Chain A
C-alpha cells in the first residue's frame, strides 16, 4: 500500500500539556493499490497485495441473493449448504480437511448478493484454494444435509418473530419498496417448507457462474504467482448466459402509521421510513449525511435528545441504506411503551429541524471528520479495500468516484444537507412503523391513519372487523350450552386427561405422555414425561408443589396459589363468570369472537370462541419473564362428545422457542383419592 507523505517534521517545539494538541499536518491518503484481471472463464479478480504477514484470504461474491429467490429462502439455504459436502468429500471430510489447515469458510446470502469467504496461511494456500473452488463450484448438496438444515432454518424464523427490531425493518422494506417488491422479500415458514432440494440445485446451477461473480484475493501473493493457480482451480467452472434481473421500480404503500401488535411487548420498536435515492445519485451523500447528523455515533442528534435529554431509549439510530437502485432513509429507536407517541414526535421534530435550519458549521465538521476518519482508518485492513472493490464493481461505481469519496464528503455543506432533507425527508412522505404492545394503539390513532399488520407482515382483517352481534353474557351462555349444558358440566366431579405429547424445539423432537388428574373444586395433579425431561405438579385446596426430573417437590409461593387453584378447575371455560372472571368481547373477525378474560388473580388471557360452534378454538396467554414478555398460543382442534360433554381431541401450544402437540383421551368421573394431590416426597 502506498500513501503520499507530506508530513512536515519539526523537532523541539514547546508542547503545552494543558491544551488539546493541534493535529500534525494531515497525510494525504490515496486509495491503496490493487490489481484487477479476468480469468479465461470470465471471472473478474481483484488482488490487494499485503505482504505484512504470510496470509491469504479469498472472498467470492455471487450476484444473486434473496432478491433472486423464486421461493423466499432459497438463496440463503443454498449458501448455507455449500460446505456440507463438495467435490468428492462429505460434510465431515470437508470439515476435517478445512480444520486441518485452520481455515473456516463462511457463506452468507443477504439482499442481492451471496458471499463466500475464508482465510489461511500462505503455505496452505494450494489446498485452501482447491477446497474453496469445490465449495463454490462443486457442492454436492446431499439430501441428508438438506434434511438436517430445514428444521434449523424453521427454528430460526420462529426466533426472528421474537425480535421486534428485525420485524420493524422487514415491514419498513415492504412499506417503502412495495408489498410484493423483490427487495421486500422475506422467508417464512410456508416458503421454506415449500423449498425442495431440486430448487437448491437449480439456484446454484443458474446463479453460481464465473461471469456472475467476482473474486477478491487479499494477502501475501503476487499476480504472477496467483493467475496460474486460479486458472487451474477454476478451470472446470464455465461461463453461461446469466440474465441480469432488473428490479421493478419502488411502489411505496400509502404513507401512514403501520402497526404490528406484539402482545406483551414492554418496548416499542419504531422505524420511521422514507424512500431515498440510488447510490450513484448526486443527492445520495448529502442525504446519507442527514442520517449521520441524526443517528451517527454519540454525537448524533437523536442520541442527544431521545437518549440524553429524555432517556426514552438506549439505542437510537438513523441510516440511509446502500443499494444500487433504491434505498430507504430510516430512523430507529426502541422505547418504553408509554412514550411511544412522544418519541415519534421527537424523531419527527429532529427531521423537521434538518429541513428548517442549517446545521451549525462546528457540528457538521465534527460529524464529517468522524465519518471520513473512520473510513480512512479502515484502510489499514486490506479486506476492507477488497470489499469496496467488489461492491463498486457490482453497483457500477467508477474507481475515480471511489477514490474521491473522502474529499467529496468532507466538502459537503450545511446548505446541501438542508436541501436534501427538504427534498427527501418531507413529513408527508414519511411512514412510521411500530412493533409493540396492543395497548399503545389508541394513542397511535391520535397521530394519523393506522394500518394494522401481524407478525407475519400480513394485513390484519381487523381493518374489516365484523360487527359484534352478541353480549358477552349471551356468548358465554351459548358456550356452556355447546359444552353440554350447565347441569352436565357441574355433574363432572373428577376428570383424567391423558395425552400423547410431542415437543418440537428447533431441529429436535421429544415425545412422551402427559397425565392430568382433576377433582372438583380445585384439586389437580399433572405428570408430564418427555422421556428424559419429567415434571410433576400438584395443587390441593391450600397448597401447590412442583418437581422436576424426580427432584423432591418444592412448594410454590403462596402468592401463586389462587392462580393455580383457578387453573385446576374442571371445564373452566364453562364457569368463568361464576368464578368471578371478568370478560369483555373486543372484536369479531374470521368467524371468531375475541374475548379478553381477566381472572380474579389478575391473569389476562384472550379466548377465541368460534361463532358457529361456540367452542373455544384458541387461547392467547402472555407470560412475563426477566428476558421479556412472551406470547403463548394454544389452539384446540376437533371436539368430541365424551359422555355428553364436548372435549378437544388435540391442542397445539406454541411460543417463540418451541411447540408442543397433545392428543387427548379422557376418563369422566373416575375415583381419585385426595392424597394423590399431595406429593409423597417433599
Chain B
C-alpha cells in the first residue's frame, strides 16, 4: 500500500501544498499543517502551534532493520548512534553540548521500518535544530574514531536490553520464529558480531544509500513563522542533490508451517513466563483497528479479561497482558503471562487460550465494546497534545498512509469496527497452528 501511494506522491507533487481539510470526528480539535517537497525529494511538513515557545523537529528516514543485509544486521540502529558523532562542520561530542547549551533536548529511535531523529528546542533555536539535522543528512564523518567508540556503546546497550534483563531475549526469538525467512526475522538491535566485522566502507555505503533527502520526511512543529522556516529549510537542505532511487527488496513472508514451541532457561528471571505470538495485520489494515480494540478488551486496565481471570480470580499469574505491534508489511500480536510462584506455565498458557476462545465463540459484550471505543478515542486525542508528539504523528501518517491528514481522521477507522469484526479477527488471527510459544523457566542457580 505504501509503495503505490508514495510513488503517486513523488510523481505528482513536486511542489505540493495542502492546507488540510478539517473534518471533525470524535471532538478532537483538528491539527492544521502545510506540506511540500523540495526539488531534491525531501518531504517537509510544517505545523504551527503557538501555545508555547517551543519547536520540535522530526526527521523520519525510511530505513529500518528490514532494509539491512541479513549478514549485516544492526546497521540502522548503529547509525542512530553514529549520528551523534562528527560532521564536516561539527566536531565530535558537540551535538549534545549545542542542544543542551540551548536548553533543548534530543533523541532518536530505530524500528523495523524507520529511523527517527528528533529535537525539542526553545523556538528561537529553530535554526540550530535544522542545521544539525542537515549536517547529519549528508556531511556525517563515517570514520574509524566514531565507529569504534559507538561499537562499544552499542554492545553495552545490547547487554543492558537483551542479555541482562529477565526474559530479555523474547523479542528476538519471537521475530526470528514468527517471521522466519523474511526481512522481519531479525530485530533492530541486530547482531553484535555483524557490527564488529563490518568495515568502514560498508557503513559508508549504507549511509549513502539511505540518508538522502528523497528518503526523508522533515516535520517542524511549534511556535515558528512558516515563511521563515521554509527559507531555513531551503538553505540547509536544498543544497543536496537528490539521491539515487532506492531499490527495496519486495517483502515476502512464507506461511508458518506449524506451531513453534521453545523453552528457554533464564538465569535472570525469578518467575516462569509464557510469551505467545501470532502474525497480525499490517499498519493501516482495517483489521488492525479491530485488533487494537480486542486488545483493550483483553488487557485494558484492571477490568481487562486477562487480568481478571489470571491475576485476580485464578491467581495463577502476577501479570498478564496482550498487545499489537503493527509494522509496514505485517504485525505481531502477543499475549504474555508472568507465572505466579508455585503455579505452572501450562496453567497460564491454557487460561490465556481459554479467554481468547471465549471471545472467538461468544464475542464481546456491549460494555466491553464501548470501553474499547472510548479507550481508542482517549489514546488518539491524548497522543496529540505536545509539539513533539504531533510532529512524530504527522511523519507517520505521511509515510505509512500517504495521507498526512489521517492525523485528524484516523479515529474514524476505529468507529467503523463492529462487535462482529472483533469476534471475526479473534478467530482469524489467533489460530492455534499459527503461533509461536516461548516458555521461560528460571534457571536453577
Check B444 against A548 for contact (C-beta < 8 Å).
yes
Which residues of the partner chain B approach A12 to less than 8 Å between Cβ atoms?
231
Task: Return the contact of A373 from the options B103, B301, B374, B375 (Cβ within 8 A).
Answer: B103
Instruction: Determine if A120 is an interface residue (Cβ-Cβ < 8 Å).
Output: yes
Q: Smallest Cβ distance from B425 to chain A, in angstroms? A: 21
Are A377 and B367 neighbours in the complex by a CB distance under 8 Å?
Answer: no
Residue from B97, B231, B268, B371 within 8 A of A299 (CB atoms): B97
Interface size on A, residues (CB 8 A): 77
A residues in contact with B125, CB < 8 Å: 23-24
Further 20 A-B residue pairs, CB within 8 A, beyond A15-B235, A299-B101:
A1-B52, A3-B53, A17-B134, A52-B49, A55-B382, A91-B302, A95-B301, A95-B303, A99-B301, A101-B378, A121-B374, A297-B100, A374-B103, A376-B103, A510-B342, A546-B444, A625-B268, A626-B163, A627-B267, A657-B270
Closest Cβ of chain B: how far from A537's Cβ, in Å?
Answer: 9
Give the distance in Å from the alpha carbon of A623 to the alpha carbon of B374 in the complex.
49
Residues B110-143 near A (CB distance < 8 A):
120-128, 130-131, 134
Return the contact of B128 from the options A21, A51, A52, A379 (Cβ within 8 A). Answer: A21
Check A682 for interface membership: any CB of B closer than 8 A: no
**In chain A, residues 491-541, which have Cβ atoms closer than 8 Å to a Cβ of chain B?**
503, 505-506, 508-510, 530-533, 535
What chain B residues lie within 8 Å of A27 (beta carbons)?
A: 53, 122-124, 223
Kindly state whether residue A366 has any CB partner on chain B within 8 Å: yes
A465 at the interface (CB under 8 A from B): no
Residues of B within 8 A of A372 (CB): 103
- A369 and B101 within 8 A (CB): yes
**A549 in contact with B53 given A26-B124, A374-B103, A376-B122 (CB within 8 Å):** no
Distance of A137 Cα from B49 Cα, bound (Å): 39
- The listed residue (A18, A96, A373) touching B89 by CB distance below 8 A is A18
Inter-chain CA distance A51–B318, complex, in Å, is 40
Which residues in A have their C-beta under 8 angstroms from that of B100?
A: 297-299, 366, 370
B342 touches A101 (CB 8 A): no
Q: Which 6 residue pairs across A and B have the least CB separation, nearest first? A: A373-B103, A510-B342, A99-B301, A21-B127, A102-B378, A380-B52
- Closest Cβ of chain B: how far from A314's Cβ, in Å? 8
- B103/A377 in contact, CB under 8 A: yes
B300 near A99 with CB under 8 A, answer yes
**Residue contact B342 to A102, C-beta cutoff 8 Å:** no
Q: Which of chain A's residues 1-41 have a Cβ closer than 8 Å to chain B? A: 1, 3, 7, 9, 11-12, 15, 17-27, 29
The answer to whether A54 has its CB under 8 Å from any CB of chain B is yes
Q: Are A508 and B382 in contact (CB under 8 A)?
A: no
Chain A residues within 8 Å of B97, by CB? 298-299, 366
- Kindly identify, within residues 367 to 391 of chain A, every residue whose CB is under 8 Å from any CB belonging to chain B: 369-374, 376-377, 379-381
A539 to B341, CA, bound (A): 27
A531 and B342 in contact (CB under 8 A), knowing A92-B303, A102-B374?
yes
Nearest Cβ in chain A — how far from B347, in angstroms? 7
Is the CB–CB distance between A120 and B300 below 8 Å?
A: no
Is the CB–CB distance between A366 and B101 below 8 Å? yes
Given contacts A366-B101, A369-B102, contact A53 B28 (CB under 8 A): yes
Given contacts A99-B301, A99-B304, contact A380 B445 (CB under 8 A): no
Give chain B nearest CB distance to A7 CB in angstroms. 8
Q: Return chain B residues, CB-CB under 8 Å to A161.
A: none
Distance of A623 Cα from B445 Cα, bound (Å): 8
The segment from B70-78, B201-209, B383-391 that touches chain A is B383-391
7 pairs, A vs B, C-beta closer than 8 Å: A23-B125, A53-B385, A99-B302, A100-B303, A121-B27, A121-B381, A627-B164
B441 part of interface (Cβ distance < 8 Å): yes
Centre residue among B29, B101, B382 by max chain A CB count within 10 A: B101
Q: B170-207: which residues lie under 8 A (CB-CB) from chain A?
A: none
List residues of B (250-305) whose CB comes within 8 Å of A's CBs: 267-268, 270-271, 300-304
- Collect the chain A residues with CB atoms within 8 Å of residue B128's CB: 20-21, 23
Asked whether any CB of chain B lies closer than 8 Å to the CB of A352, the reply is no
B341 touching A21 by the CB < 8 A rule? no
Interface residue from A29, A120, A122, A297 paired with B27 (Cβ < 8 Å) = A122
- Within the complex, the shortest CB–CB distance from A143 to chain B, in Å, comes to 17
- Are B53 and A17 neighbours in the complex by a CB distance under 8 Å? no
Q: Which residues of A contact B236 (CB under 8 A)?
A: 15, 17
Chain B residues in 8 Å Cβ range of A552: none
In the complex, what's the smallest C-beta–C-beta distance from B303 to chain A, in angstroms? 4
Smallest Cβ-Cβ distance to B132: which chain A residue: A20
Tell yes or no: A98 within 8 A of B by CB. Answer: yes
- Asked if A376 and B367 make an inter-chain contact with CB atoms under 8 angstroms apart, the answer reads no
Q: Judge whether A55 and B381 touch: CB under 8 Å.
A: yes
Q: Chain B residues near A380 (CB, 8 Å)?
A: 51-52, 54, 386-387
Judge if A119 is at the interface, Cβ distance under 8 Å: yes
Q: For residue B367, which residues in chain A have a CB less than 8 angstroms away from its CB?
A: 96, 100
Alpha-carbon distance A473/B130, docked complex (angstroms): 76
Q: Which of B93-108 contact A (CB under 8 A)?
A: 96-98, 100-105
Q: Find out whether the CB atom of A24 lies under 8 angstroms from the CB atom of B127.
A: yes
Task: Say whether B6 faces chain A, with CB atoms less than 8 Å apart.
Answer: no
Does A600 touch B at the CB level, under 8 Å? no
The distance in angstroms between the C-alpha atoms of A509 and B102, with both chains bound, is 55
Interface residues, chain B, with chain A CB atoms under 8 Å away: 27-29, 49-54, 88-89, 96-98, 100-105, 120-128, 130-131, 134, 163-164, 166, 223, 225, 227-228, 231-232, 235-236, 239, 267-268, 270-271, 300-304, 308, 312, 315, 318, 340-344, 347, 367, 370-371, 374-375, 377-379, 381-382, 384-387, 441, 444-445
Q: Please give me the residue from chain B that is nearest to A556 by CB atom.
A: B444
Known contacts: A11-B231, A380-B386, A627-B268. The answer to whether A54 contacts B27 by CB under 8 A is: yes
Instruction: Specify which chain A residues have a CB less than 8 angstroms from the CB of B28 in the assembled complex.
Output: 53-54
Q: Is the CB of B29 within 8 A of A508?
A: no
A142 on the B face (CB < 8 A):
no
Q: Is the CB of B378 within 8 A of A96?
A: no
| Chain A 35-68 interface 0/1 with B at a Cβ cutoff of 8 Å (1 = within) | 0000000000000001111110000000000000
Q: Does A658 contact B52, Cβ atoms closer than 8 Å? A: no
Residues in A whose Cβ lies below 8 Å from that of B303: 92, 95-96, 98-100
Chain A residues, Cβ within 8 Å of B98: 20
Task: Pick the most buried of A24, A92, A96, A381: most chain B CB atoms within 10 A of its CB.
Answer: A24
Give CA–CA (A92, B304) in the complex, Å.
Answer: 11
Least CB separation from B315: chain A residue: A508
- A324 close to chain B: CB less than 8 A: no
Residues of A within 8 A of B370 (CB): 100
- The answer for the CA separation of A509 and B28 in the assembled complex, in Å, is 49
Q: With an 8 A cutoff between CB atoms, is A126 at the interface?
A: no
Chain A hits for B123, CB < 8 A: 24, 27
A376 and B102 CA atoms in complex are apart in Å by 11
Judge whether A239 is part of the interface by a CB distance below 8 angstroms.
no
A374 to B106, CA, bound (A): 12
Contacts known (A99-B301, A121-B377); A373 close to B122, Cβ less than 8 A: yes
State the CA gap A54–B445 with chains docked (Å): 53
**Interface residue A156 (Cβ < 8 Å from any Cβ of B):** no
Residues of B within 8 A of A50 (CB): 51
**Residue from the set A7, A9, A298 with the largest chain B CB neighbour count within 10 Å:** A7
- The answer to whether B378 and A121 touch across the interface, beta carbons within 8 angstroms, is yes
B318 vs chain A, min Cβ distance (A): 7
**A52–B385 CB distance below 8 A:** yes
A123 at the interface (CB under 8 A from B): yes
- B51 touching A1, Cβ below 8 Å: yes
A124 at the interface (CB under 8 A from B): yes
Asked if residues B105 and A377 are in contact (CB atoms below 8 Å), the reply is: yes
The digit string for A544-586, where 1 denotes a CB below 8 A from any CB of B, is 0010110000000000000000000000000000000000000
Q: A104 contacts the other chain (Cβ, under 8 Å)? A: yes
Complex contacts, A15 vs chain B, CB 8 Å: 127, 231-232, 235-236
Contact of B371 among A24, A100, A530 (CB under 8 A): A100
B302 partner residues in chain A, CB cutoff 8 A:
91-92, 95, 99
Name B263's closest neighbour in chain A (CB-CB): A551
Complex alpha-carbon distance, A297 and B106, angstroms: 13
Closest chain B residue to A103, Cβ basis = B378
Give the chain A neighbours of B122 by CB distance below 8 A: 23, 26-27, 373, 376-377
